[in-house]
Chains A and B, each alone.
Chain A
Amino acid sequence: MNLKFKLPNYLNKYKRFLIPIIFILLSVFMIFLIIIPQFSQISDLNNQVSAENDKVNTLQTSLNALSSMDDHDLETKKSIATDALPTTKDVSRIFSALAAAADASQTNLGDFSLDAGPVFGSALLNESKVQGTPSLEVTVRVEGSDASNLADFAKELQKTLPLSEVKKINSTDSSANYTVGFFYKPVDLSVISKQEKVTLPSQSTDALLNQMQTWENQ
């Protein structure tokens, strides 16, 4: 007998097994084509839900923080912060700081000169131990009654805004030459625009700005 005649016989003989085998094949099919892929998909989806939840929470916290911050208070803080560390080389503020320090130390301000530094090009900024914050170097002559009186000028200068550092002192009887670096820092828009989360100024920031305000008002 050839296959054409054998097949109906086989089907007839084993037809009772056909339905259970189909069920088992369908079960296997569901395991490999639906259940296992769904498990991995659900894991990915759960991760996505968690990430989205985090983003929403961050945005919500940011919005709450924005609402709780008083506009006038923020403006004051910004003003103090930029007075302490200006965004540009502000010569008039530097002169005001020198005059205030001279006034507080009871000395007289003589002539002063600025080393404005490179205007264009990738030349090095003035050297300072403060990494990432450039300074404008100023040489100033001060006249006073004695050396300790002249030293007071440097002490007072440390407590005026914009922030500065005294780099060199050369003092004789009644006059002294100081080399002072006045700090400034251009606004890094890339850092500010990348802010995804709004964090209100911390307590330490508030304390620092209050200290800056007392220096400003001296």
Chain B
Amino acid sequence: MKEESINLTSIKKEEQTLLNNFFYISLGSFIFMFFIAVLLIAYSLILRAKIASLTSHEHDLGSQLSARANKVGQIALVNERATSIKNVLNNRDKLSGVVDALLSSIPTAFSIDKIAADDKLVSIEMVSEKLSDFDSFLESTVPAIAKKKDIGASSININSFGQDGDGYSLTINFQVNQNK
């Protein structure tokens, strides 16, 4: 009978300890969660205050910038024009450069009678009194012209050749690709 009574007391004590542990754990988790929740809410409020302050600063700066809108517009115009100018310089027809390069390649023994040029074809009529000038022109000058990158000739054709008064006349066509 005595042994049974001792067992019941110890069981009750164990139950009480378990219950106490359960209470402390639940209380601890509640306090921890409460603390975390308070921290998060406080941080969120700080962030909101920071956003409000930044927005107000942004409005201030925006109004300062608006007051100088004329200068802002002028700078934007200069930048926009500069971009367009670069675009024009890089992509405009280089016909005058091609014609100039061709004329400077032609030996001085020739006189130039006619030039007809557009973005695809440059036709030059040249005159010389000596046939040998034409020989050397076709043998050495034409191959040199074909290699010049600033001319960009894709094909070179003799359009006509004949006697012209006391001398001879040659019309030569250069197919050009100015953007290569």
Contacts and interface: CB of A to CB of B under 8 A. Distances in A.
Interface string A79-92: 00110110000000
Contact of B118 (A20, A35, A167, A183): A167
Nearest to B29: A27
A48 B37 contact: no
Contacts of B64: 63
A155 B57 CA distance: 55
Contacts of B55: 52
B33 A192 contact: no
Interface stretch (A1-9, A107-115, A146-154): A146-154
Nearest to A45: B47
B2 interface: no
Given A20-B26, A45-B44, A146 B97 contact: no
Interface of B: 19, 22-23, 25-27, 29-30, 32-34, 36-37, 40-41, 43-44, 47-48, 50-51, 54-55, 57-58, 61-62, 64-65, 68, 71-82, 84-89, 91-93, 95-97, 99-100, 103, 111-119, 179
A78 B77 CA distance: 7
Nearest to A21: B26
Contact of B115 (A48, A163, A171): A171
Secondary structure of the B contact surface, majority rule:
helix
A201 B72 contact: no
A71 B71 CA distance: 8
Interface in A133-176: 133, 146-148, 150-152, 154-155, 157-158, 163-173, 176
B115 A169 contact: yes
Interface string A119-139: 000000000111111000000
Contacts of A209: 78, 82
Contacts of B75: 65-66, 69, 74, 198-201
Interface residues of A, number: 86
B66 to A, nearest CB: 11
A106 interface: no
A35 B103 contact: no
Contacts of A35: 33, 36-37, 40
B72 A66 contact: yes
A212 B85 contact: yes
Nearest to A158: B96
A23 B103 contact: no
A209 B79 CA distance: 11
B57 A154 contact: no
Nearest to B92: A165
A100 to B, nearest CB: 15
A82 B79 CA distance: 11
B85 A84 contact: yes
Contacts of B76: 191-192, 195, 198
A79 to B, nearest CB: 10
Contacts of A193: 73
A55 B92 CA distance: 39
Interface in A200-217: 200-201, 205, 208-209, 212
